[in-house]
Amino acid sequence: MSNQSNEITRERFATNGYAIVRNVYDSEGMKSLSCQLQKTFETIYQSQLESCKNSTPSVLNISREIIENSTEGKTIEQYTTSVGILDFLETLLGPDIAIYNHLNLWINDPRDDAIVTNKSLHQEFWSGLGPNELTVWSPINDVSAENTMMIVPGSHLYGLLPNRNRQLLPIQDIELPSPVPLVDISPGDAVIFHSFLLHGTAGRDEQLRIAMSAVYKPTFAQTTVKNHATGFRALRLSALTKVRSILANDSFTPLRTYGGPISNQPLEYEQDYD
């Protein structure tokens, strides 16, 4: 992106609380991943349905099993750390970028009635994210107006909103704008949004909708208590960070890296202690 494009992106994000980046992932690869995920999900769903005849399978639990224990989960991890998305995030976060060790697969199934997979308007700050952290949500298959993500543009500038039991509470004398369903997005696109932005699920339709999400932050930005427990790993390092990494400790021990970038200069001979 050019410097002018970067500036426009930053200003729009600051104003709206979100940005959509087009074709950041390989669309053909996404189609293939979508087919694999649908097959894997249905296989696990039917297996659990047969083994637990008195209960409906938990779509959320199946999603976690897929993301943690399948080849599809490894593919999703590759997408979340790919060059395209990191290049765009650098525009918003700077050159030091880290990702949290917790990826999400969001499956919207018409057979599922759980509120956690059909979320009402909420802020990710409620869930433990901080103001320095961005969520990237990406559809893996096609969305509809009935099952996509909905957002309230600019609501991140309201600050922290009152809530109880996952529900937004009324605010006296303030009427919030109606949410907007994001329908102009396709597999390969990504929605990047602030932790204060009001967003939720538009609902369900007759089709299975699959999306993935990941959380990123500037590597040295303050981390919330929840995410300290989750942990994160650096994906990109600035030039200054690379220098500090080579020097290794905060005391900058004199000559520690003399003669090489990793350790002290090796001895030219080995001393015999026998």
- pLDDT tens digits for range 136-150: 999 999 999 999 999
Which amino acid, one-letter code, is at 163?
N
CB–CB of 17/135 below 8 Å?
no
Closest CA to 162 of 150, 154, 153, 171: 171
**pLDDT, tens digit, for every residue of 162-217?**
999 888 999 888 889 999 999 999 999 999 999 999 999 999 999 999 999 999 99
Residue 272: band (very low, low, confident or very high) from pLDDT cuts 50, 70, 90: very low
Residue 274: band (very low, low, confident or very high) from pLDDT cuts 50, 70, 90: very low
Backbone phi, then psi, for 46, in 5-degree steps?
Answer: -65, -35
73 Cβ contact partners less than 8 Å away, ≥ 6 residues apart: 66, 67, 103, 105
Across 83-110, b (16+ Cβ under 10 Å) vs e yields: eebbebbbbbbeebbbbbebbbbbbbbe
How far apart are alpha carbons 212 and 123 in whole angstroms? Answer: 17
Q: Looking at the predicted structure, is the pLDDT value of residue 263 above 60? A: no
Q: Looking at the predicted structure, is the pLDDT value of residue 257 above 70? A: no
- Average of per-residue pLDDT across 80-101: 96
Give residue 94's pLDDT: 95
Give residue 52's pLDDT: 77
Domain boundaries, the chain: 3-247
The count of other CB atoms within 10 Å of the CB of residue 150 is 20
Provide the CATH topology of domain 3-247.
Jelly Rolls (2.60.120)
